[in-house]
Amino acid sequence: MFTYGLVRSVFFLIPVILAMGISGNSFVTSERTIYAQDFTNVSNSTSNNESAIRMMEKNLTNIISGINLKIMNNVTDPSITISPIDDTIYLSYAKTENNETNIYLVKSTDNGSSFTDPVQVNNIPGDATMNAWTTTKIALGPNNEIYILWHVVDESNKEFAYGSSTLRLAKSTDDGRTFLPATSPGNDTLTEKAFFDLAVSKNNSIYISYLDSLSNVTDFSISYPSEVKLLRSFDGGNSFETPTTIDKTACDCCKTAALTDQNGEVFVLWRHASHVNNQTYTNGSNPYNDDEKLEKGLIYEVIRDIYVTHSNDSGKAESFAPAVRIHEDNWYMNGCPSAGPDLGFDSNGVLHVGWFTGGAEMPGTYYANSTNGGKNFSAPLPLLVDEWVAAKETNLGVDGKDNVWVTTTDARDENNTYVFIAAKSADGKLYKNELFGIGESPVISSGQKITGIAWQDNDNINIAILKLR
């Protein structure tokens, strides 16, 4: 296991703690199905959105044969997962009515031409919070289980700068027709839990990575203190062990990413903040510095680069390989950019990573891969770079043909923010579409013959299903 230098004025050097234990959470046996709203507000792309589809197909026609586009009105916070077995599309979203937010699931078995009626995931009405920090996550189990993870934020607790938050996990064993009552993994301690991800192995072990921000620290002169933690369940989500701490000085608000390999080991990807040995005084010229923090006297810049580690104990996640920096970007800044990375495996076990950095020769979104299980990585391949690119989250998927898909947003236009898509084919060719759509927060998933992208456009969700050649 590895240890990092910690914030000078807040922490002293502590080795990473690996703790074990069992939580008392368990699933209740009853089930509930709620059909909450009519789904007739889904727009059909073939008749109404031909120009949008032509824009989406730009520069991608060598690897896709067509697109199905759907628009879901008055819903937010999309998350998408496509089955690697039969290309069933699972889409979750949040809907807020009368100051009450609920999570819903729909699915499609015809490449996105139609979707089922929505099923409410949270069994307690209003037991969800939609915000820009973390989108809902979906993962599929080996026995057709569907797991959905979200969180609930309580802003009334003033000990927390952004409100205390708790995780919720719901499980379906009948392909999404009903969900068991939600549990609250890892919520034996009161903290901020956000920027999470969800991974399920072939033996149905469940892993939840997240940022855990502490409540007992009052000196934030350098940065808001956050740790990367990992929750583990080895009984299909019925109970969770005490979280494993991966990193004690994580970047404050970049999403984590988790994924299991063919051997059942869990990989965790995140942005680390090197506070002690790699910090400098800002001269005020860094375009990525947080102006509010500068006004409050936060004049230290620290390196915020992407790291990866993985368990090496058959998925128990008690022991981890030394953390590896994807690339020495040396991105100095005084605050978190809210630009988390993502990762995926192809059929040959190659690990693919996409991330944003402001520390390279040209800031922007990059791609690299590892052919030896994350021990080292290829030279970064620029996907969306310029003299200045707004820091944005990166999401990644790998399809059945081993095309690697990366999505982010491009905010260089003063009038619109565009969804950006890049695809690196198995033979190494790079395809890009910088004007794929207008909107924010794109998420992506790939199956055998399709790739799906969902994103936010004001109060609507767009879903584009790309059919592979």
Cα–Cα nearest to 86, from 443, 423, 400, 403: 400
Do residues 180 and 170 lie in contact, with contact meaning Cβ atoms separated by under 8 Å? Answer: yes
Which H or E run includes 54? Answer: helix 50-57
The whole-number pLDDT of residue 207 equals 98
Find the mean pLDDT for residues 252-258. 93
The whole-number pLDDT of residue 191 equals 80
CATH class of the structural domain 42-468 = mainly beta
Cα–Cα nearest to 183, from 163, 166, 198: 166
**Could you give the maximum distance between any two Cα atoms of the chain, in Å?**
62
Find the mean pLDDT for residues 44-73. 84
Q: Is residue 172 over pLDDT 60?
A: yes
Domain chopping of the chain, boundaries:
42-468
Residue 150 in tokens: 């979200």
The whole-number pLDDT of residue 132 equals 62
Residues 6+ apart with CB under 8 A from 172: 105, 145, 146, 148, 178, 179, 180
Question: Distance (Å, rounded) from C-alpha 234 to C-alpha 243?
Answer: 13
The whole-number pLDDT of residue 17 equals 25
Cα–Cα nearest to 209, from 225, 227, 224, 222: 227
User: DSSP assignment of 21-44, as one string?
Assistant: -B------S--B----S--TTEEE
pLDDT tens by residue, 304-356: 999 999 999 999 999 999 999 999 999 999 888 999 999 999 999 999 999 99
Residue with tokens 């080292």: 376
Residue 73 in tokens: 């009105």
Residue 272 in tokens: 């680390």
- Other C-beta atoms lying within 10 Å of the C-beta of residue 85: 10
Give the global pTM: 0.88
Cα–Cα nearest to 10, from 222, 190, 278, 282: 222
Which H or E run includes 48? Answer: helix 45-48
User: DSSP assignment of 357-369, as one string?
Assistant: ESSSSS-EEEEEE
- Other C-beta atoms lying within 10 Å of the C-beta of residue 217: 12
Torsion of CA 170, 173, 178, 182, to 10 degrees: -20
pLDDT tens by residue, 85-141: 999 999 999 999 998 999 999 999 999 999 999 999 999 999 998 776 778 999 999
Cα–Cα nearest to 211, from 227, 198, 197: 227
Per-residue confidence band for 424, with pLDDT thresholds at 50, 70 and 90: very high
Cα–Cα nearest to 146, from 63, 209, 79: 79
DSSP assignment, residue 16? P
The whole-number pLDDT of residue 217 equals 53
Question: Distance (Å, rounded) from C-alpha 422 to C-alpha 344?
Answer: 15
Cα–Cα nearest to 27, from 237, 188, 242: 237
The residues with which 328 forms a beta bridge, in sequence order, are none
Phi, psi (degrees; rounded to nearest 5) at 262: -65, -20
Q: Which range (107-116, 292-301, 353-362, 385-394) has the least confidence?
A: 292-301
Cα–Cα nearest to 365, from 325, 410, 431: 410
